[in-house]
Structure 1
Amino acid sequence: MKFTVIGGTGLIGSQVVRKLTAAGHQAAPAAPSTGVDLITGEGLDQALEGAEGVINLANSPTFDEASLEFFRTAMHNLLAAGERAGVRHQVILSIVGVDRVPQLDYYRAKTLQEDLLRQGPTPYSIVRATQFFEFMDAVLSWTSDDSTVRLPATPIQPIAAADVVDAVAHVSTGTPLHGIYEVAGPDVCPLDELGRVTLAAQKDARTVTTDAQAGMFGAITGDALLPGPHAHLASTHYQEWVQKAG
């Protein structure tokens, strides 16, 4: 199959391109660096020419209210270009629990992206993943100083980026789901405890203080970020992964 991978030069996108190519598919990355602009539409028609599937892994440059307009404009342009090109399958990567956290601008923006895809003209699939292992350093940096990291005890079930790549490639090469494919890591862990595991693995002397209001995830209550009972669980455990990464 021939795929265009929007955001195909990023953390997930570059790996998806490599995985699909290794499996014998044609997978071309599309990003600003390749002359494709989702907001103006520049380069989209050329990038989608001949593509049977489009995998949209592009992300908003911000997590604030401006992300709503980014996803609205980007999806409008991409769906229209896909229809012109005769694309038969549109896939996006979203977030587990995204529609259960309306208090976060970015989650509302991703929910909008999903809704626009469902209403669009092309058969589709939505891959929802939990938080990536690779983002823990960023999460720690949001509410930290030289001696302390403040984190809420929000339960999450994080996943390795490589396992997300496997899920995206699997769904993209299959029949359009007209629905959601959830994928998560194997372990549920409170975010504050995950912070302690991370600092210990990195031999970082800072301590983690539990703060229910700290950071973006402090706005999330209960099990909103945990997958449902039919989610597909990956095999990579965070504690093993972070020991190797550290």
Structure 2
Amino acid sequence: MYSTPFSPSEARSARARMGLTTAQVAHSMAVCGAPVHPGLVAAWEQGTHVPSEQQLFSLADVLWCDVTTLMGLEPRTLAEHRLARRISVERLAYRLGMDQGEYRAAESAQEWHGDSRQTRALVDALGLSLRQLIGIMGRAEELGEHLRSAIDGRWKSHVEPVAGIVSVDMTGVEDALRTMHTEFTAFSERYMGHLVARNDDARLKEVAAERAAYLRRLVDRFWELIGDVGEAPPRTW
């Protein structure tokens, strides 16, 4: 069952820095529209209870700290990135034009199947890039495998699966894979040209080194061609 990430020790430290009692924290939260009993604040700090998402947001306001401080971690999952931005599921789903249940399921399963418009809206809301989103979803390695197969074989067969992973228009993916296939093929043509011409080993090693460097930057090259969304500044919803 999903539980809001929360660090009791960080909450205690944040309250101590503000010089507040649990009663004062509870009073301030009530003023912010999130009434709680002082005993519940103490229970959070003792680790016997966990605040709801809205209580977490309100507590961060009262203690003048980032949500991530109270979470006690750097965001790794889709849900954690959403919490770090202080966005509720309801508001984010509305922004994406997606059913709340569908979005909750995406967070729970760590699987994203939104269309290109929804994906762009998601990375904008969470201050991520498409590349970061794919990493969060755990699909970066899968993308790399498709790219390696595409440049060294029938690239057209990889257009649809790659487009499905990055959630962008297939035309853009097709153009990128075609370009990368052409670039990679050029290494083989140059190598064979030097081989037929019986050039020295130094020229052959040079081409081989360039080919290896290209493979190391394969994913980087893909994002250079496909374009990406840079990080957006934090926003308050």
Tell whether the structures are fold-level matches, with TM greater than 0.5.
no
What TM-score do you get using the length of structure 1 for normalisation?
Answer: 0.22
What TM-score do you get using the length of structure 2 for normalisation?
Answer: 0.23
Which of 1 and 2 has greater Rg? 2
Higher strand share: 1
